[in-house]
């Protein structure tokens, strides 16, 4: 069964739901809604010396949003606030233009098919915005 | 009938492969409406201002559009038709201007089925003026529980503001019951007709309401214009909403007086071209055989509902019967987000809408976090319905 957007890699990410759940004693937490579609994510993060040691989220959302949250659960540990901010900028650029990604952010390539659908950009970006917001708190 | 109708919509010349089922959000524009709007905008002047021929022609055409809308609504006079930017602006106008006449403790009755456009303005008025909101609940099938009118509409009720037809469930409100309940306590009635107008002319006199709001883009006209109809005596009692040029009697350094309706509520340069386009759209609609169209739309609706019932994972959000119902169908698919359903069908040129449809209280009342919606108009056909059903089957395979 083919789909332009719902390619196997995105579906597998969403299915895996990396980092699902919430941390009991987070250093930062956020809850964001996408008012256009009702997607909602609650996200918690733990830090050690400015570096993410754990991130957990509860995501009630579409498949694209769940895939993005899962990618964060898989790849955010070990990164710091500055790197997450840069990654978010790279994702926004990818969605806006479908330009090639810098090598450091190749993991985002999975979302390239979404670039042609502006109404869905917010779905992919919501978990990243939630992570940035949680990181801004400590 | 469908083929002949489609030839009148420029959309189908450009996008013949598209199965457009998002009519509850925006209908396609009729060729006469587009031509009328483009004609006006191609050689335009402002209205009500200048005596040169171009301006006089614009003023005449704008007035003619108002007269066409008045006929479409069976209004008592053109002065009862206010052009706004859309149904949202019309509803806000009433919430603000009628709201100015209310005092703390006065009650406004809404339903849980309202679009946010007929909900949030009243929430804001509640915060601003201390009015009380009383909410008619919905039944499990999404219909407004008008049996509750008896205990919710009290002597303190000043207005019942309610949808004529739900943009989510397609259920048509029992307006006669609403009007009777309002009249029993001397309250007024505002109907949100945004969904109803696409399915034929409306008779405001027969409905018995005091205000009626709708948008042009949902009845084959341009975007950016809508209508508030109000009984002449009612409009005359209301203070202005927006202030500016065109809505005044006179202005001094100390004070201003205001024009009579409808000018009182049309501050600034109105959407002249769009209003003229709307006039052409409703003029065309009044030539159509609506009884035949309603039978046709019901046939398509029955086909769609029967097709949906085959999917075990699908839960209908709204009535399953055809009684008092327009062809607007919302549903959930277990475990699959509505935007994902819409995305996959969109890739197959089936145009749907997903989400909360600006009706979060309704979806919450029906235990839903979001729904996919297919909405039919007179130019849809069986191939559209079948493409939707086949596409849904495909989407379930892709997303499961």
A60 and chain B in contact, CB less than 8 A:
yes
Fold of B2-21+289-399: 3.90.1150
Whether the predicted pLDDT of A1 surpasses 60: no
pLDDT of residue A67: 97
Cross-chain residue pair A37–B356, CB shorter than 8 Å: yes
Q: Which two tokens mark B37?
A: 């709007």
pLDDT of residue A97: 83
- Residues written for chain A: 138
B348 and chain A in contact, CB less than 8 A:
no
Note the pLDDT tens digit of each residue in B6-53. 999 999 999 999 999 999 999 999 999 999 999 999 999 999 878 899
Q: Which two tokens mark B340?
A: 């994902």
Note the pLDDT tens digit of each residue in B44-95. 999 987 889 999 999 999 999 999 999 999 999 999 999 999 999 999 999 9
Phi/psi for A25 (5° steps) reads -130, 70
Note the pLDDT tens digit of each residue in B210-234. 999 999 999 999 999 999 999 999 9
Cross-chain residue pair B337–A62, CB shorter than 8 Å: yes
pLDDT of residue B2: 66
Whether the predicted pLDDT of A103 surpasses 80: no
Nearest by CB to B355, from A37, A63, A117: name it: A37
Distance CA B359, CA A40 (A): 17
Cross-chain residue pair A62–B340, CB shorter than 8 Å: yes
* Angle CA B400–A67–A26, to nearest 5: 130
pLDDT of residue A4: 83
Q: Which A residues 93-112 touch B at CB under 8 Å?
A: none
> Residue B88: in which H helix or E strand, if any?
helix B87-97
**B157 within 8 A of B108, measured Cβ to Cβ:** yes
List CB contacts (< 8 A) between B336 and chain A. 63
For B344, name the nearest residue in chain A, comparing CA atoms only: A3
Count Cβ atoms below 10 Å from residue A51 Cβ, excluding itself. 13
State the nearest Cα–Cα gap between B216 and chain A, in angstroms.
Answer: 23
Q: Which B residues 324-343 touch A at CB under 8 Å?
A: 336-340, 343
Note the pLDDT tens digit of each residue in B236-253. 999 999 999 999 999 999
- Kind of pairing, strands B107-111 and B132-136? parallel
Instruction: Using the CB atoms, write b or e for B92-127: b if 16+ within 10 Å.
Output: bbbbbbbbeebeeebbbbbbbbbbbbbbbbbeebee
* pLDDT above 90: percentage of residues in chain A: 79
B22 closest CA partner among A119, A11, A40 = A119
**B176 within 8 A of B189, measured Cβ to Cβ:** no
Q: What is the mean pLDDT of residues B265-291?
A: 97
Cross-chain residue pair B398–A123, CB shorter than 8 Å: no
Cross-chain residue pair A2–B398, CB shorter than 8 Å: yes
* pLDDT above 70: percentage of residues in chain B: 99
**B61 within 8 A of B240, measured Cβ to Cβ:** no
List CB contacts (< 8 A) between B347 and chain A. 3-5
Note the pLDDT tens digit of each residue in B340-358. 999 999 999 999 999 999 9
For A7, name the nearest residue in chain B, comparing CA atoms only: B398
Q: Which A residues 2-31 touch B at CB under 8 Å?
A: 2-6, 11
State the nearest Cα–Cα gap between B112 and chain A, in angstroms.
Answer: 18
How many interchain CB pairs under 8 A, A with B? 48
Catalytic residue positions of B, numbered: 358
Whether the predicted pLDDT of B388 surpasses 80: yes
Sole residue written with tokens 């959302």: A61
- Kind of pairing, strands B157-163 and A39-48? unpaired
CATH number of B32-285: 3.40.640.10
Whether the predicted pLDDT of A138 surpasses 90: no
Architecture of domain A8-135: Alpha-Beta Complex (3.90)
Count, in order, helices (H) and strands (E) of chain B. 15, 15
pLDDT of residue B82: 98
Q: What is the mean pLDDT of residues A60-82?
A: 96
Between A36 and B282, residue with greater pLDDT: B282
First-to-final CA distance of chain B: 38
pLDDT of residue A38: 79
List CB contacts (< 8 A) between A6 and chain B. 340, 343-344, 398-399
Contacts of B106 (CB under 8 A, 6+ apart): B131, B132, B156, B158
State the nearest Cα–Cα gap between A47 and chain B, in angstroms.
Answer: 32
Distance CA B170, CA B252 (A): 50
User: What average pLDDT does chain B have?
Assistant: 97
* pLDDT above 70: percentage of residues in chain A: 96
pLDDT bin (cut points 50, 70, 90) of residue B330 is very high
Nearest by CB to A5, from B336, B343, B360: name it: B343
**B107 within 8 A of B283, measured Cβ to Cβ:** no
Count Cβ atoms below 10 Å from residue B189 Cβ, excluding itself. 22
Q: Report whether the peptide linkage leading into residue B262 is cis, meaning its omega lies within 30 degrees of zero.
A: yes
| β-strand partners of B191 | B162, B212
> Residue B162: in which H helix or E strand, if any?
strand B157-163
The structural domains of chain B, with segments of one domain joined by +, span 2-21+289-399, 32-285
pLDDT of residue A2: 64
Distance CA B227, CA A138 (A): 51
Cross-chain residue pair B340–A6, CB shorter than 8 Å: yes
Distance CA A59, CA A13 (A): 13
Phi/psi for A39 (5° steps) reads -60, 145
List CB contacts (< 8 A) between B339 and chain A. 37, 62, 64, 120, 123
């Amino acid at each position: 069964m083919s789909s332009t957007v719902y390619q196997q890699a995105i579906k597998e990410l969403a299915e895996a739901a990396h980092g699902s759940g919430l941390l009991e004693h987070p250093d930062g937490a956020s809850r964001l809604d996408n008012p256009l579609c009702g997607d909602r994510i609650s996200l918690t993060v733990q830090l050690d010396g400015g570096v993410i040691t754990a991130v957990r989220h509860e995501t009630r959302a579409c498949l694209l949003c769940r895939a993005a949250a899962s990618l964060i659960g898989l790849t955010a540990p070990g990164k710091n606030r500055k790197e997450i901010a840069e990654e978010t900028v790279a994702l926004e650029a990818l969605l806006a233009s479908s330009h090639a990604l810098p090598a450091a952010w190749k993991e985002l390539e999975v979302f390239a098919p979404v670039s042609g659908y502006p109404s869905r950009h917010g779905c992919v970006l919501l978990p990243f915005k939630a992570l940035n917001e949680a990181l801004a708190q400590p | 009938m469908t083929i002949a109708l489609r030839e009148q919509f420029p959309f189908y010349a450009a996008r013949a492969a598209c199965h457009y089922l998002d009519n509850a959000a925006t209908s396609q524009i009729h060729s006469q409406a587009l031509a009328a709007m483009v004609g006006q905008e191609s050689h335009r002047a402002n209205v009500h201002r200048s005596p040169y021929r171009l301006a006089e022609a614009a003023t005449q055409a704008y007035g003619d559009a108002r007269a066409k809308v008045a006929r479409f609504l069976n209004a008592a006079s053109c002065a009862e038709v206010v052009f706004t930017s859309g149904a949202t602006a019309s509803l806000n106008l009433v919430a603000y201007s009628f709201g100015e006449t209310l005092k703390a403790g006065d009650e406004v009755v809404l339903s849980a089925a309202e679009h946010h456009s007929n909900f949030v303005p009243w929430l804001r008025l509640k915060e601003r003026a201390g009015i009380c909101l009383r909410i008619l609940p919905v039944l499990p099938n999404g219909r407004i529980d008008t049996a509750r009118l008896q205990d919710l509409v009290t002597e303190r009720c000043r207005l019942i503001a309610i949808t004529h037809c739900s943009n989510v469930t397609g259920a048509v409100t029992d307006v006669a019951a609403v009007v009777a309940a309002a009249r029993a306590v001397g309250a007024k009635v505002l109907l949100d007709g945004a969904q109803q107008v696409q399915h034929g002319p409306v008779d405001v006199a027969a409905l018995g309401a005091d205000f009626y709001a709708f948008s042009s883009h949902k009845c084959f006209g341009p975007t950016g214009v809508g209508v508030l109809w109000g009984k002449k005596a009612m409009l005359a009692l209301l203070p202005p909403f927006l202030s500016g040029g065109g809505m005044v009697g006179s202005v001094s350094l100390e004070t201003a007086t205001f024009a009579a309706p409808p000018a009182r509520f049309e501050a600034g340069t109105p959407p002249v071209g769009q209003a003229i386009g709307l006039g052409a759209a409703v003029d065309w609609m009044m030539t159509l055989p609506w009884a035949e169209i309603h039978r046709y739309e019901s046939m398509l609706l029955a086909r769609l509902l029967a097709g949906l019932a085959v999917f075990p994972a699908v839960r209908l959000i709204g009535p399953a019967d055809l009684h008092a119902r327009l062809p607007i169908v919302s549903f959930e698919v277990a475990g699959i987000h509505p935007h994902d359903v819409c995305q996959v069908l969109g890739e197959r040129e089936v145009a749907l809408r997903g989400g909360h449809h600006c009706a979060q209280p309704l979806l919450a009342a029906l235990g839903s976090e979001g729904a996919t919606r297919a909405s039919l108009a007179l130019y849809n056909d069986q191939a559209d319905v079948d493409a939707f059903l086949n596409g849904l089957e495909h989407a379930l395979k892709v997303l499961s």
